[in-house]
């Protein structure tokens, strides 16, 4: 039994994407062509836009994941994790969770006596951690405090000379900025 297509051809209705493709008889089979029905044209373009947007979002998520992983590795590799956490729990040093925007020497629950006098003084003088101040501090902690306080004797309790590689500092700062 041979059937002929209805006037205007057959329609393929895909769930959630009606009218996107239309089957046309072709030899012994069907050839699927885009539906040019004006009633469904907006759906075709909307669907293509949705697929493109979803692909863009997925690619951005995939691209961000390695950067975040690299930042976490930099935090551990550069010995930060030996004394600091980002979990909110204090260890040898204060937790660095929420350090961006925090006044120096004021981590909640970390005793002020555990900070160096210079760190407390820097906070009292108005030092609030941001990417720029963290970059300077991580490069050379003692020198940063000496310059900030204009005190050649300023020091820190950190037994850490600093992180000389700018790219590694940037990764650590990114990690601290985005860590929750």
For the chain, give every domain's residue range. 12-65, 78-178
Question: The CATH number of 78-178 is which of 1.10.240.10, 1.10.760.10, 1.10.3720.10, 2.60.40.2130?
Answer: 1.10.760.10
- Residue-wise pLDDT tens digits, 85-101: 888 888 898 989 999 99
- Residue-wise pLDDT tens digits, 132-147: 999 999 999 999 999 9
Give the mean model confidence (pLDDT) for residues 103-124.
92
Cα separation, 30 vs 3, whole angstroms: 12
- Residue-wise pLDDT tens digits, 2-40: 556 556 555 544 444 445 555 556 665 555 555 555 555
Cα separation, 87 vs 80, whole angstroms: 13
- pTM of the prediction? 0.61
Average pLDDT of the chain to the nearest whole number: 76
Judge whether residue 46 has pLDDT over 80. no
Looking from the CA of 44 toward its CB, the CA atoms found within 13 Å total: 13
- Residue-wise pLDDT tens digits, 149-180: 999 999 999 888 898 999 999 999 998 888 76
Dihedrals φ, ψ of 73, to 5°?
A: -65, -40
Which pLDDT belongs to residue 68? 64
Cα separation, 43 vs 31, whole angstroms: 20
């Amino acid at each position: 039994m041979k059937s002929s297509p209805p006037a205007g051809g057959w329609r393929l209705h895909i769930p959630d994407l009606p009218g996107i493709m239309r089957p046309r008889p072709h030899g012994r089979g069907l050839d699927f062509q885009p539906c040019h029905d004006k009633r469904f044209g907006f759906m075709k373009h909307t669907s293509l836009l949705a697929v493109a947007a979803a692909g863009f979002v997925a690619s951005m998520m995939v691209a961000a994941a390695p950067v975040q992983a690299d930042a976490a590795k930099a935090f551990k590799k550069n010995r930060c994790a030996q004394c600091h956490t980002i979990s909110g729990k204090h260890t040898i040093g204060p937790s660095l969770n929420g350090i961006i925007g925090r006044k120096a020497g004021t981590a909640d629950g970390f005793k002020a006596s555990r900070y160096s006098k210079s760190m407390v003084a820097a906070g009292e003088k108005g030092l609030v951690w941001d990417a720029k101040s963290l970059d300077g501090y991580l490069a050379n902690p003692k020198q940063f405090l000496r310059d900030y306080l204009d005190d050649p004797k300023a020091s820190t309790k950190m037994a850490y000379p600093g992180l000389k590689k700018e790219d590694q500092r940037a990764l650590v700062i990114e990690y601290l900025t985005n860590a929750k």
